[in-house]
């Protein structure tokens, strides 16, 4: 469903990376201006193609991963027009992709994937998003649900005290500018040196918790100022910290490799690069909009501002984006450290280990076979998760036999999933799948429908305790506001691009 006009923000909700929804005050996008539905052709199991000639500016066709039910909901969302716009980017290789959790975003749809040739393609900040390296981390504990129940209130309170959350939270781990520059350049290595992480933690993080090529000098002073007090903070909106219980296992081999079994307590963390990443995106959008004229680049929507990857502006943006991604990996590490402290206060010495950590707002150089030729591409994933198969050299040794864990959060009243990537994802979707449930209602629409409802009380009735500094904002994140993530995951599995491993249900939720 398209957001209400009153939900639209000039850029996604400032320092907390809540959404990439354009604002009513922002210039009207090409997706909003054009009238008339795009043609959609069945193109295989849970696949629909928008042909290249659907819009005169499209360079490649687009593919939507969906079933008929999800497609019907998406049919009148401007996200499909945004997908057609993405197919216009110089250097893009076929196809432009939308995952089943797709919805309208800033420039690119959330749930969008685009691969462009590294040699002569462009990079677009809108294809990464304002919350650079917004992502998810899964932690496992040896505790069982029976261990939680007598201490559920105490744990909820301990986590809420330990985890700074909410709009503009600035109670981050102590660091000065030199520390922050180290974080930007080296990622989680800083946390290991300071005792906030272990060497084993690093092995269980995508890219080892560090994107090479990061340059702190490419990050503006304003971005530094915004990020220096936010490392190890949650933010607000759809960011969360949840204690969950594994309640179903679908793939025993993969679950065993991840150390997961029914009844086990786990922790899902969803957060990103906070105000620092937001400022990096804004800085370079402004720069690129002016630079496009120099490079003779025209796009159907100004929110798709882009420059050649190999240009000075493109290289500098990528260096800043990689630095912000390193900040986000370290931010989730700071939250992990605080979680371990809170659990220790309630349960004593309990080992809490990282299952995996994945980014879902990032661009990475990868190699794929495109039209019979292996080439290097820059894969933009905006609300989409990397999903590499068994045997891929970039996944930890522990998962070589089963595939990369893919962490797919749902909503705070239902469930989340863990899946693994497949070889078909490498051939069909540039090694990518969904990143979550995807919004069903705008924030304002959800608040209107739930006016007068006590969301926290309703969740408590389901055995879920919520702690938040903004109780009035819970309606924006209620289950009714989201698609059913089980439907989204089923589509990914039916399309052959992922395999379900476990389902988890929330028991304690900390929201911003």
Which residues are known to be catalytic? 435
Residue 384 in 3-state DSSP?
A: strand
CA distance 336 to 355: 12
Spatial separation of the C-alpha atoms in residues 21 and 12, rounded to whole Å: 6
Between CA 493 and CA 496 the distance in angstroms is 5
Sorted by sequence, the CB contacts under 8 Å of residue 163 that are 6+ apart come out as: 233, 234, 241, 335, 338, 339, 342, 510
The residue assigned the tokens 């957001």 is: 3
Tokens coding 324: 């912000």
Residue 176 burial by CB count (10 A; 0-12/13-18/19+): exposed, middle or buried? exposed
179's tokens: 């520390």
Whose structure tokens read 């939270």? 169
| Contact status, residue 106 vs residue 303, Cβ threshold 8 Å | yes
DSSP 57-94: T-SS-EEEE--HHHHHHHTTSTHHHHHHHHTTSTTB-S
- Whole-angstrom Cα distance, residue 19 to residue 32? 18
């Amino acid at each position: 469903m398209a957001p209400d006009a009153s939900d639209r923000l000039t850029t996604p909700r400032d320092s907390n990376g809540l959404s990439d929804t354009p604002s009513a005050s922002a210039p009207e996008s090409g997706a909003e201006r054009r009238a008339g539905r795009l043609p959609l052709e069945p193109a295989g199991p849970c696949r629909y193609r928008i042909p290249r000639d659907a819009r005169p500016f499209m360079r490649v066709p687009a593919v939507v991963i969906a079933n008929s039910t999800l497609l019907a909901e998406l049919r009148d969302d401007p996200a499909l027009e945004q997908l057609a716009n993405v197919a216009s980017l110089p250097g893009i290789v076929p196809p432009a992709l939308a995952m089943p959790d797709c919805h309208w975003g800033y420039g690119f749809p959330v749930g969008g994937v685009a691969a462009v040739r590294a040699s002569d393609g462009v990079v677009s900040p809108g294809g990464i998003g304002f919350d650079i390296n917004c992502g998810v981390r899964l932690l496992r504990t040896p505790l069982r649900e029976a261990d939680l129940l007598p201490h559920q209130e105490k744990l909820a309170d301990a986590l809420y005290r330990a985890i700074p959350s909410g709009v503009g939270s600035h109670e981050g781990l102590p660091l000065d500018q030199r520390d922050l520059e180290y974080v930007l350049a080296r990622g989680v290595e800083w946390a290991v040196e300071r005792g906030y992480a272990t060497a084993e933690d690093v092995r269980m993080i995508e890219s080892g918790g560090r994107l090479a090529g990061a340059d702190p000098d490419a990050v503006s002073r304003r971005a530094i100022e915004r990020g220096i007090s936010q490392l190890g903070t949650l933010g607000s909106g759809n960011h969360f910290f949840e204690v969950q219980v594994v309640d179903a296992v679908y793939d025993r081999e993969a679950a065993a490799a991840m150390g997961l079994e029914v009844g086990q307590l786990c922790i899902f963390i969803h957060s990103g690069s906070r105000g620092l990443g937001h400022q990096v995106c804004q800085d370079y959008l402004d720069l690129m909009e002016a630079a496009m004229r120099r490079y003779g680049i025209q796009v159907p929507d100004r929110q798709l501002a882009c420059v050649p990857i190999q240009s000075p502006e493109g290289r500098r943006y990528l260096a800043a984006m990689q630095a912000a991604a390193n900040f986000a990996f370290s931010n989730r590490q700071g939250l992990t450290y605080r979680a371990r402290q809170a659990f220790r206060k309630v349960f004593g010495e309990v080992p809490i280990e990282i299952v995996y950590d994945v980014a879902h707002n990032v661009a990475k150089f990868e190699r794929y076979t495109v039209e019979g030729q292996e080439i290097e591409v820059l894969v933009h994933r905006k609300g989409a998760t990397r999903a590499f198969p068994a045997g891929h050299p970039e996944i930890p040794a522990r998962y070589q036999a089963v595939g990369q864990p893919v962490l797919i959060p749902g909503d705070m009243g239902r469930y989340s999933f863990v899946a693994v990537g497949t070889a078909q994802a490498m051939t069909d979707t540039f090694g990518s799948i969904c990143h979550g449930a995807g919004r069903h209602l705008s924030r304002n629409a959800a608040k209107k429908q739930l006016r007068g409802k006590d969301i926290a009380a309703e969740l408590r009735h389901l055995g879920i305790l919520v702690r938040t500094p903004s109780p009035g904002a819970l309606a924006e994140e209620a289950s009714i506001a989201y698609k059913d993530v089980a439907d989204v995951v089923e589509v990914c599995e039916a399309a052959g691009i992922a395999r379900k491993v476990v389902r988890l249900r929330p028991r304690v939720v900390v929201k911003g």
